[in-house]
């Protein structure tokens, strides 16, 4: 019943959009906005309780990773909504920032917490209702960049936003979204990106498959066959790069858009403080290793790079046995988040 009521509340936000006006509603400890966008709408949440959008503060906007994951989950213990992928440390900085997350297009805004447990522990496909035609047709890089810029356009006109400090962060898929958004939006003042491959998504997958030939997971011959298969797959993606249909996983347009090779160009063009974070066990993200070289080559000093040895894509610290197999892992993401907020205090 709680799930149904909250879903109805959130979807009711679009009623007034036909006349081109935004809507605003309190949902638990959040203020949820829906604004018009390209004939449709964008919904996003601000971490602030009812009646507290009064004090002027900077904004910290976080772009989440891939998959059609709802904006909110219902905590099974408290029965209250919580932002699904917002860095937990953001809640320690409510006095310093308005933390913000944007909903994925065409995805239900709220789901029971148990759904995510199933998704992340089994890596099974989410319910078919999550893979809507709207999600498929809008799930590509430039849509998310335009979406983020539209939210910034709205926020930076609000009297409660301190426009002198506009922090944009993104992890995994959000790494790519945040980089290109910062490149296209001069009002972003700080950029934090995490767990993304500098070369692109498909390139990162190839890099990871190649590494399996050195870790013993594959023989060298098996790794080569896997790489060649991905190379052939890329040829087919390029032949139909605007295709937004799929029966499982990402459509060709999604993969193509996140596999561009311009991240280095975009980052080098920025003059704002940049923080890049990744785990060394996340092989696809180790392409960021070259960033200090490229920034130094051009005499640029605005990059701060932090690699976490033996940490994976989601910042679990891995322990290996003598044969190189993972035998234990401990979540260290809260420490990682704390460190980039420490970096923000200094920049």
Can you tell me the distance from the alpha carbon of 103 to that of 92, in angstroms, rounded to the nearest whole number? Answer: 22
Q: Are 302 and 272 in contact, with CB atoms under 8 Å apart?
A: yes
State the pLDDT at residue 247.
73
pLDDT tens readout for residues 295-324: 999 999 999 999 999 999 999 999 999 888
Mind listing the pLDDT tens digit for each residue in 47-106? 997 788 989 999 999 999 998 889 998 877 788 889 999 999 999 999 999 999 999 999
Helical pair 201-215 and 220-239, crossing angle rounded to 10 deg = 170
pLDDT of residue 90: 95
∠ CA 243-131-31, rounded to 5° = 115
Q: Are the beta carbons of 147 and 40 closer than 8 angstroms? A: no
In this predicted model, which residue has the larger pLDDT, 307 or 6? 307
Rg over alpha carbons for the chain, rounded to the nearest Å, is 20
**What is the predicted pLDDT for the residue at 296?**
98
Q: CA angle, corner 40, sides to 39 and 43, nearest 5?
A: 145
Give the DSSP letter string of 73-91: EE-TTT--EEESSS-GGGG
292/112: higher pLDDT: 292
Average pLDDT over residues 10-32: 70
3-class SS at 266? helix
Span of 26-30, 208-212, 217-221, 297-301 with lowest mean pLDDT: 26-30
* Helices then strands, each counted (H, E), the chain: 11, 14
Q: How far apart are alpha carbons 99 and 161 in whole angstroms?
A: 11
Whole-angstrom CA distances from 2 to 74, 101, 129, 145 are 8, 22, 19, 33
Average pLDDT, the chain: 90
Cα–chain center distance at 47: 17
Give the model's confidence band at 13: pLDDT under 50 very low, under 70 low, under 90 confident, else very high. Answer: very low
Coil/strand/helix, residue 299 = coil
Instruction: Specify the pLDDT at position 5.
Output: 46
DSSP state of 311: B
Q: pLDDT by residue (tens digit) across 95-135? A: 999 999 999 999 888 877 666 666 555 445 555 667 888 99
Return phi, psi of residue 128, to 5°.
Answer: -55, -30
Give the Cα separation of 299 and 68 in Å (integer): 40
Res. 138: pLDDT tops 50: yes
Inter-helix orientation angle 141-155/173-184, to 10°:
60
As a whole number of angstroms, the distance between CA 69 and CA 62 comes to 14
Please report the pLDDT score of residue 324 as a whole number: 82
Would you place residue 293 in the very low, low, confident or very high pLDDT band (cuts 50, 70, 90)? Answer: very high
User: Do residues 318 and 312 touch, judged by C-beta distance below 8 A?
Assistant: yes
Tell me what pLDDT residue 14 has.
44
The β-bridge relationship of strands 161-171 and 81-83 is unpaired
Burial label, 305 (beta-carbon count in 10 A; 0-12, 13-18, 19+): middle
Dihedral, CA of residue 137, residue 7, residue 36 and residue 143, to nearest 10: -30
CA 172 – CA 174 distance, rounded (Å): 5
Among 228, 314, 319, which Cα is nearest to 278's?
314
| pTM confidence score | 0.91
The CA-atom distances, in angstroms, between 190 and each of 56, 302, 314 are 18, 10, 22
pLDDT digits (tens, 9 = 90+) for 152-196: 999 999 999 999 999 999 999 999 999 999 999 999 999 999 999
Residues 217-270 pLDDT 10s: 999 999 999 999 999 999 999 999 999 998 767 999 999 999 999 999 999 999
């Amino acid at each position: 019943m709680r799930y149904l009521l909250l879903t109805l509340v959130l979807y009711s936000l679009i009623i007034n959009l036909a006349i081109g006006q935004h809507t605003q509603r309190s949902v638990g400890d959040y203020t949820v906005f829906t604004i018009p966008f390209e004939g449709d709408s964008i919904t996003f949440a601000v971490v602030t309780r009812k009646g507290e959008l009064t004090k002027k503060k900077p904004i910290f906007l976080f772009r989440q990773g891939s998959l059609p994951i709802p904006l909110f989950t219902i905590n099974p213990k408290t029965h209250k909504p919580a932002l699904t992928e917002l860095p937990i440390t953001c809640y320690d900085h409510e006095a310093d920032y308005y933390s913000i997350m944007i909903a994925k297009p065409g995805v239900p805004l709220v789901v029971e917490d148990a759904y995510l447990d199933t998704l992340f522990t089994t890596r099974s496909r989410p319910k078919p209702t999550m893979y809507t035609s709207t999600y498929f047709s809008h799930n590509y890089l430039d849509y998310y960049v335009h979406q983020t810029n539209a939210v910034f356009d709205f926020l930076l006109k609000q009297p409660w936003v301190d426009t002198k400090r506009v922090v944009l962060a993104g992890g995994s898929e959000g790494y790519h979204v945040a980089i290109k958004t910062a490149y296209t939006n001069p009002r972003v003042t700080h950029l934090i990106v995490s767990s993304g491959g500098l070369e692109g998504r498909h390139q990162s997958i190839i890099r990871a498959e190649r590494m399996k030939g050195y870790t013993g997971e594959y023989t060298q011959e098996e790794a080569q066959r896997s790489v060649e298969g991905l190379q052939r797959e890329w040829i087919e993606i390029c032949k139909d790069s605007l295709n937004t249909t799929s029966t499982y996983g990402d459509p060709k347009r999604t993969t193509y858009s996140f596999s561009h090779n311009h991240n280095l160009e975009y980052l080098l063009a920025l003059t704002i403080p940049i923080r890049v974070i990744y785990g060394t066990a996340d092989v696809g993200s180790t392409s960021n290793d070259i960033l200090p070289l490229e920034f130094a080559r051009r005499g640029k000093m605005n990059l701060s790079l932090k690699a976490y040895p033996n940490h994976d894509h989601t910042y679990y610290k891995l322990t290996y046995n003598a044969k190189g197999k993972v035998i234990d892992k401990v979540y260290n993401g809260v420490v990682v988040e704390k460190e980039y907020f420490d970096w923000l205090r200094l920049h």
